[in-house]
Amino acid sequence: MQTQYIYSASRANTLAQYLLTKTDIDRLLVADAGDDLQSALKETYLAPYVLQDADIAVAIEATLIKAKKLLHRIAPDGDMLRVLWLQYDVHNLRVFAKAQAIGKGFADVAQFVSARGIYDPAYLYAMADRSELNRLQMSWQESYTEAVRHATAGDIDQVDGVFDQLFFATATRISERFKDPFIRKYVRAIIDLYNLKARLRAATYDQIKFSPVFITGGTFAEREIETKEQVLVAFAQLGGEAFWRTAIEQFAATGNTTHIDARADEYLVYMSKQASFDMFSSASLVLFYLQSRQSAANVRTIVVGKNSGMSEAAIRSNLRLAYVNN
């Protein structure tokens, strides 16, 4: 097992060097929208995919699916990494439930689902349609049925609450099954980040009725993050006060959680980087997928920004560079 970890960690660390670099980013940022940008993309790690398909969204999806399959193959036990793919299955179920409530089928929503999950989207839809989701994961069918009922009634916030709880319950179950120390730490971290963001929103705008779901299993008890002041103190325990300051100020000014979401993703990268120095840890594998995902997000940000006429400075402010190895 230890030999497998050394091999898989070394492979992941090597592959990370071929993701989008700062030099690549600088080249993309000075490229003009259109053919010049397309040419610049062909000089990045996306080259094999861009050459096959002109649609950058398809190319990006292909790189992430390849990363997922690779990690599953080289990990000592690939199924423990399902905590990384699970969010896409839950996203797909969310789409299916909302579609079912208005009489739409798989063909109507296929463009909105992701193939990065544990299960093929068409297969997952078929299992949901036959009410057989429990054959895949415990309690999935009950949650799906409840979500469809809420969606039919128009209670969309309740739909999201059902699937949020389903995601964390399944992720926790996976982490406990494999008893991998870093996978457990990762799941606790994503629970903490979810709880803090939900409580910050609710505590800041107490005149608006939110339905935040508190998820057990993190490091903070519910009573420890009841007020905005408590939430800010808790955030500071995850990376330090300075790490979150700008994002929280942006939230206070705009009510938009985009910058906090970006910081949360970067915190997971930083946490994984620190743990990846242990060659016998799964952290390097988790880190590579997070790096791949942020690299893809940067490509998407640049392409969308360029095509919409945004300035270089505006695009650069939205980039996520925590994944880049300095």
Contact by Cβ (8 Å): 164, 213: yes
Q: What is the pLDDT of residue 255?
A: 85
| pLDDT tens by residue, 2-11 | 677 889 999 9
Residue 267 has pLDDT above 80, yes or no: yes
17-59 residue pLDDT tens: 999 999 999 999 999 999 999 999 999 999 998 877 668 889 9
Report how far apart the first and last C-alpha atoms of the chain are (Å, whole number).
30
pLDDT score of 164 more than 80: yes
Query: What pLDDT score was predicted for residue 91?
Result: 98
* DSSP alpha helix (H) spans, the chain: 2-16, 22-30, 35-41, 47-52, 56-74, 82-101, 106-109, 121-129, 140-153, 156-178, 181-204, 228-236, 241-254, 258-275, 283-307, 312-317
Does the pLDDT value for residue 170 go beyond 80?
A: yes
Overall average pLDDT of the 81-107 stretch:
97
Q: Which two tokens mark 304?
A: 């969308």
The pLDDT of residue 1 is: 56
Q: pLDDT tens across 105-115, in order?
A: 999 999 999 99
Identity at 309, one-letter amino acid code: G
For residue 8, which of 293, 203, 280 has the smallest C-alpha distance? 280
**Amino acid present at 163:** F
Closest among 30, 64, 69 to 46, alpha carbons compared = 64
Average pLDDT estimate for 84-108: 97
Share the mean pLDDT of the chain.
93
